[in-house]
């Protein structure tokens, strides 16, 4: 018992009926400021108040109402949360118990377990959960706008283009025909822009046919619009994964290829998509000018951060290997353990 008392990572205080500290283990002494420690041993009635910042009740995060130190035998304080001002780490949350262990002599024990790590883990969990909800909401809104553009706006513009083409056969006025042709060309370009915007927002191929189809469609548009040659290798065929994983893979690839186009000064990018040993891998490589990852090259910093963040949300890893003059290599790996495919079945 003495070894447990001396070596426990939990702080243990023993008090008598009057509130005088009888004993503390090393973990307890490391928490309390020396002045407060001295007062505790001298038996000042409110010495513990010098370090306590309240306990958590059903109504308040921190309160001193119905203090546990005055009612140690209450069931409310068999297990609760308390905040203490520590001598080195500021205000720390602890899991606490406070109860009488010897009725005759009135000896009470106050035990504390540091909850800092659990709170940080919980905070990270909620941050990730909220980020997932935000990204999911963004993707759903992109999908809605994309379909609206394709099914409504694009169709209306297409109808206007058809009317202009018919109008050419309804007049012989050369000046009017010239103007109609110019307007038709402008409307056709607008129609193409709307369709491209619709696909950029959320490609229907990603939801309907999966990653490989969405990648090939995206790369074809990149080649047609910018002349960038994308060498694409895939081993997935028509295999499907969970919507969240497919979205992360697509968005990371989209951002990586766009960065290569804007900053690498290359006309060719290599993209490899594969699944091996239960891990889905995306590799995007270029032989461009490269950069020092720590230098945050112009415009890419937020993109790299966003890719890293998306990877972590699905339990994946994201790495960037680059250097001045030796190109850039971006690798995304997502383990498929305990994930569901598009149909909701285990992978």
Last residue of a domain, one of 114, 134, 167: 114
- Residue 239 pLDDT greater than 90, yes or no: no
CATH number where 59 lies: 3.30.450.20
Same-domain status, 159 and 268: no
Q: What pLDDT digit, counting tens, does each position of 206-223 carry?
A: 888 999 999 999 999 889
Beta strands in 211-258, from DSSP E residues, in sequence order: 229-234
Q: What pLDDT digit, counting tens, does each position of 101-110 carry?
A: 888 888 989 9
pLDDT of residue 294: 65
Region at 325 (left for phi over 0; alpha for psi -120 to 50; beta for the rest): left
- Residue 205 pLDDT greater than 50, yes or no: yes
SS3 113: strand
Last residue of a domain, one of 142, 177, 202: 202
Whether the predicted model's global pTM rises above the 0.75 cut: no
Count of the separate structural domains present in the chain: 3
Under the banding of pLDDT at 50, 70 and 90, the label for residue 346 is very low
Same-domain status, 177 and 211: no
- Residue 151 pLDDT greater than 90, yes or no: no
CATH number where 297 lies: 3.30.565.10
Q: 286-320 burial, b for 16+ CB within 10 Å, e for fewer? A: bbbbbbeeeeebeebeebbeebbebbebbebebeb
Same-domain status, 240 and 326: yes
Q: What mean pLDDT comes out for the span 262-272?
A: 93
Q: 9-20 burial, b for 16+ CB within 10 Å, e for fewer? A: ebbbbbbeeebe
pLDDT of residue 340: 45
Q: What pLDDT digit, counting tens, does each position of 7-20 carry?
A: 888 999 998 888 88
Same-domain status, 212 and 103: no
Place of tokens 């905070």: 123
Q: How far is CA 270 from the centre of its chain?
A: 27
Q: What mean pLDDT comes out for the span 113-129?
A: 88
Q: What pLDDT digit, counting tens, does each position of 306-329 carry?
A: 899 889 989 999 999 998 888 999
Least Cα distance to 333 among 259, 275, 247, 269 occurs for 275
**Whole domain around residue 295: which residue ranges?**
207-347
Same-domain status, 183 and 221: no
Same-domain status, 74 and 149: no
d(CA 203, CA 31): 56
């Amino acid at each position: 018992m003495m070894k447990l008392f001396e070596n426990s990572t939990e702080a243990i205080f023993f008090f008598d009926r009057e509130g005088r500290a009888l004993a503390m283990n090393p973990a307890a002494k490391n928490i309390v400021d020396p002045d407060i420690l001295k007062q505790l041993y001298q038996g000042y009635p409110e010495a513990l108040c010098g370090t306590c910042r309240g306990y958590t009740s059903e109504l308040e995060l921190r309160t001193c109402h119905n203090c546990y130190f005055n009612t140690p035998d209450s069931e409310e304080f068999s297990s609760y949360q308390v905040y203490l001002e520590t001598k080195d780490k500021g205000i720390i949350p602890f899991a606490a118990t406070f109860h009488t262990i010897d009725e005759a002599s009135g000896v009470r024990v106050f035990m504390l377990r540091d909850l800092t790590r659990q709170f940080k883990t919980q905070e990270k969990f909620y941050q990730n959960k909220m980020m997932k909800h935000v990204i999911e909401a963004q993707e759903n809104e992109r999908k809605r706008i994309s379909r609206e553009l394709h099914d409504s706006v694009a169709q209306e513009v297409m109808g206007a283009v058809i009317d202009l083409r018919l109008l050419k056969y309804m007049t012989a006025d050369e000046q009017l025909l010239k103007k109609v042709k110019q307007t038709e060309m402008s409307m056709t370009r607008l129609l193409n822009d709307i369709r491209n915007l619709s696909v950029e927002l959320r490609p229907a191929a990603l939801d309907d046919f999966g990653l490989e189809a969405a990648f090939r469609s995206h790369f074809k548009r990149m080649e047609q619009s910018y002349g960038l040659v994308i060498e694409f290798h895939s081993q997935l065929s028509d295999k499907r994964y969970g919507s969240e994983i497919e979205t992360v893979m697509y968005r990371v690839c989209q951002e990586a290829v766009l960065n290569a186009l804007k900053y690498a000064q290359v006309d060719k990018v290599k993209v490899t998509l594969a699944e091996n040993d239960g891990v889905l891998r995306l590799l995007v490589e270029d032989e461009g000018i490269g950069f020092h990852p720590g230098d945050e090259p112009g415009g890419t910093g937020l993109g790299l951060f966003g890719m890293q963040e998306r990877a972590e949300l699905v339990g994946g890893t994201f790495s960037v290997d680059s250097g001045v003059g030796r190109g850039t290599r971006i690798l995304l790996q997502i383990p498929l353990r305990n994930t569901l495919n598009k149909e909701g079945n285990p992978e």
